[in-house]
Chain A
Amino acid sequence: MDTVGLLRDLSQASGVSGYEDEVQAIVRQALEPHADTLRIDALGNLIALKRGKQADGAPTRAVMLAAHADEIGLMVKELEEGFIRFTRVGGVDVRILLGQEVVVHGERPLPGIVGSRPPHITPPEEREKIVGLDELFIDVGIPEERLSKLVHVGDIVTMRRDFLELASGCVCGKAFDDRAGVVAVVECMETLSTMDHLWDVYAVATSQEEVGLRGAMVSAYGIVPDVAIAVDVGFGAQPGVDEAESVKMDAGPAIARGPSIHPLMYEKLVATAKEHEVPHQTEIIAGRSGTDAWAIQVTREGIPCGLLSIPLRYMHTSVETVCIKDINRTARLMALFIAGLDEHFAEAMGLD
Chain B
Amino acid sequence: MLLRELSEARGVSGNEGPVRDIILEAVGDLVDEHRVDAMGNLICLKKGRRQSSEQAWPRKVMIAAHLDEVGLIVTGINGDGTLRFDKVGGIDDRILLSKQVLVGQEALPGVIGYRPIHLIPRKERERVADPKKLAIDIGAADKSDAEKLVQPGNYVSFRTAFQVLDEEGLRTVKGKAFDDRVGCAMLVELLKEDYAFDLYAAFTAQEELGLRGARVAAYAINPDVAFVHEGTVCDDLPKKKDLSPVTELGKGPAITFMDRSVITDRRLVKLLVTTAEKLGIPYQFKRVVSGGTDAGAIHLTREGVPSVVVSVPSRYIHAPVSLLSLSDFDYTVKLMRAALHTLEGGLES
Contacts and interface: CB of A to CB of B under 8 A. Distances in A.
Interface string A157-180: 000011011111110100000000
A135 interface: yes
B163 interface: yes
A121 B94 contact: no
Interface in A256-277: none
A141 B174 contact: yes
Interface in A94-132: 94-96, 98-101, 110-113, 115-122, 127-131
Interface string A237-269: 111110001000010000000000000000000
Contacts of A140: 165-166
Interface stretch (A29-37, A298-306, A313-321, A329-337): A313-321
B112 interface: yes
B319 A98 contact: yes
A33 B139 CA distance: 33
A135 B160 CA distance: 24
B291 A99 contact: no
Contacts of B129: 95
A79 B78 CA distance: 44
B223 interface: no
A235 interface: yes
A130 B125 CA distance: 9
> Which of A139, A142, A169 has the most chain B CB within a 10 Å cutoff?
A139
Contacts of A117: 235, 237
> Which of A112, A121, A168, A240 has the most chain B CB within a 10 Å cutoff?
A240
Contacts of A92: 117
Nearest to A117: B235
B94 A93 contact: no
B37 interface: no
B280 interface: no
Interface in B58-92: 78, 80, 82, 90-92
Interface string B151-187: 0000000011101011011101110000000000000
Nearest to A134: B240
A99 B113 contact: no
A319 B90 contact: no
Interface string B289-315: 011000000000000000000000001
Contacts of A2: none
Contacts of B291: 120
Given A93-B117, A121-B246, A237-B80, A165 B174 contact: no
Contact of B114 (A101, A120, A137, A314): A314
Interface stretch (B25-33, B49-57, B130-138): B130-138
B115 interface: yes
A294 to B, nearest CB: 14
A62 to B, nearest CB: 31
Contacts of A130: 94, 125-128
B120 A313 contact: no
A313 B113 CA distance: 8
A218 B137 CA distance: 39
B165 A141 contact: yes
A127 B92 contact: yes
A116 B137 contact: no
A119 B90 CA distance: 7
Contacts of A320: 113
A344 interface: no
A149 interface: no
B252 interface: no
A250 B108 CA distance: 20
Contacts of B235: 117-118, 121
A222 interface: no
B318 interface: yes
Nearest to A92: B117
A80 B128 contact: no
A99 B323 contact: no
A146 interface: yes
Please classify how large the interface on chain A is, using the bins under 10, 10 to 19, 20 to 34, 35 or more. 35 or more
A316 B118 contact: yes
B233 A95 contact: no
Given A111-B163, A237-B80, A118 B233 contact: yes
B319 A314 contact: no
Contact of A167 (B140, B170, B288): B140
B132 to A, nearest CB: 10
A18 to B, nearest CB: 20
B219 to A, nearest CB: 26
Given A167-B149, A235-B118, A143 B97 contact: no
B145 interface: yes
A96 B129 CA distance: 10
A83 interface: yes
A81 interface: yes
B38 interface: no
Nearest to A317: B98
A115 B98 CA distance: 15
A167 B108 contact: yes
A240 B111 contact: no
Contact of B316 (A115, A167, A313): A115
B141 interface: yes
B321 interface: yes
B74 to A, nearest CB: 14
B95 interface: yes
B133 to A, nearest CB: 5
A127 B128 contact: yes
Interface of B: 78, 80, 82, 90-95, 97-100, 108-120, 125-129, 133-135, 137-141, 145-146, 149, 159-161, 163, 165-166, 168-170, 172-174, 233, 235, 237-240, 243, 246, 250, 288, 290-291, 315-321, 323
Q: Which 3 A-B pairs have the closest CB atoms?
A: A166-B139, A314-B113, A141-B172
Given A146-B169, A239-B78, A241-B119, 20 more contacts: A93-B114, A95-B129, A99-B95, A99-B321, A115-B316, A119-B318, A121-B233, A130-B94, A130-B125, A143-B169, A143-B170, A143-B250, A162-B159, A167-B146, A172-B109, A235-B116, A239-B82, A315-B116, A316-B118, A319-B100
